[in-house]
Amino acid sequence: MEFLKKIISHIDVPLFIIYGIMGFGSVYIAAFIRARIDLSFWAELFVCILIISPFYFLVRIAKKKYFSN
């Protein structure tokens, strides 16, 4: 139980919430892209890496800029 408390105390709550919301959004964005474009698996993976992944990086930068103490 102590180990679990230690892990939970290290969670960055705002980032955890933002990533959760973005995760759901990413699922819908990916479904939208997939419904509109018929690509192979590797092309879809490449598109997701180029479009969806940078959002997570930008959120980390924005969090450091606006939420740092």
Per-residue pLDDT of 10-54, as tens digits, reads 777 788 888 888 888 888 887 887 888 888 888 878 877 887 778
Structure-token match 């939970």, residue found: 8
Token output for 11:
């969670």
Structure-token match 């690509």, residue found: 39
pTM tops 0.85? no
Query: Is the Cβ–Cβ distance between 59 and 19 less than 8 Å?
Result: yes
Query: Is the Cβ–Cβ distance between 32 and 14 less than 8 Å?
Result: no
